[in-house]
């Protein structure tokens, strides 16, 4: 059912889910210029693996994964594609405002905790470098995720929610993890290619592990939304 003809209850649920989706996506883009270390270490086949280095922007993405799958499940591929295009436009608008703020000199007050020009530009100036990679990666990954999700659902019907959720993430996040980091960090010189080949695979593997760990949440969200929408049919 297209969301243009849905009931008021289902419509407002879509508005709430879309708001959460957009907020988490934009937040992830803004904070992605910071590298963090994931303190996980283990030995596999005699090889010591970890700790892992990745971008801090990975933190909001689990919510984006969850919301993408839930909206695809209840509103369809077309709704996910539309909200993805809207979000990409809003990310661009956000970066435009950030760029404008960078061009305005800060009033520096001695002993103040407010940001001076150097600290502000260091934090938000790097974000400007990833705008093309961010928007391109976001659109490619989201549209691909919606496509793969829909294809798997057409084959499996309402069964195997975990399969379409994880399967779509495996494909889409491969694109996202490599495109955004290469265009946003390697081309401007923020990362060397060697560093990129360390961070990108780590980023991808972590996203897959997060997607798998969110499987119970997908089922819980599916159940709660199904119950919520079913209530409208009750007298």
Domain annotation for the chain: domains and CATH numbers: 8-22+55-106+121-233 (1.10.1760)
User: How far from the centroid of its chain's Cα atoms is residue 18's Cα?
Assistant: 13
pLDDT value at position 110?
81
pLDDT value at position 61?
81
pLDDT value at position 19?
95
pLDDT value at position 5?
46
From its phi and psi, is residue 106 left (phi > 0), alpha (psi between -120 and 50) or beta? beta
- Using DSSP, state whether 181 is helix, strand or coil: helix
Q: Read off the pTM.
A: 0.78
User: Along the chain (235 residues), what's the average pLDDT of each consecutive run of 10 residues?
Assistant: 59 92 90 78 67 78 85 89 93 89 86 82 71 78 85 81 79 77 75 82 78 83 86 51
pLDDT value at position 48?
66
Q: Which residues of 112-140 are buried (b: 16+ CB within 10 A; e: fewer)?
A: eeeeeeeebeeebebbbbbbbbbbbbbbb
pLDDT value at position 24?
92
């Amino acid at each position: 059912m297209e969301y243009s003809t849905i009931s008021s209850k289902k419509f407002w649920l879509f508005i709430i889910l879309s708001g959460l989706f957009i907020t988490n996506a934009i937040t992830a883009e803004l904070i992605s210029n910071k590298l963090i270390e994931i303190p996980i270490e283990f030995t596999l086949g005699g090889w010591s693996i970890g700790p892992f280095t990745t971008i801090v922007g990975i933190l909001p993405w689990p919510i984006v994964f969850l919301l993408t799958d839930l909206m695809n499940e209840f509103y369809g591929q077309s709704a996910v594609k539309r909200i993805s295009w809207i979000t990409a436009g809003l990310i661009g608008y956000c970066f435009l405002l950030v760029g404008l703020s960078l061009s305005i000199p800060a009033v520096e007050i001695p002993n103040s905790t407010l940001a001076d020009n150097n600290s502000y530009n260091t934090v938000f100036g790097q974000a400007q470098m990833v705008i093309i990679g961010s928007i391109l990666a976001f659109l490619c990954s989201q549209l691909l995720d919606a496509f793969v999700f829909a294809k798997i659902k057409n084959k499996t019907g309402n069964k195997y929610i975990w399969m379409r959720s994880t399967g779509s993430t495996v494909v889409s996040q491969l694109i996202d993890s490599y495109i955004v980091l290469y265009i946003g960090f390697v081309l401007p010189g923020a990362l060397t290619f060697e560093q990129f080949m360390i961070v990108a695979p780590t980023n991808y593997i972590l996203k897959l592990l997060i997607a798998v760990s969110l499987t119970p949440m997908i089922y819980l969200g599916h159940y709660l939304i199904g119950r919520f929408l079913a209530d409208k049919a009750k007298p």
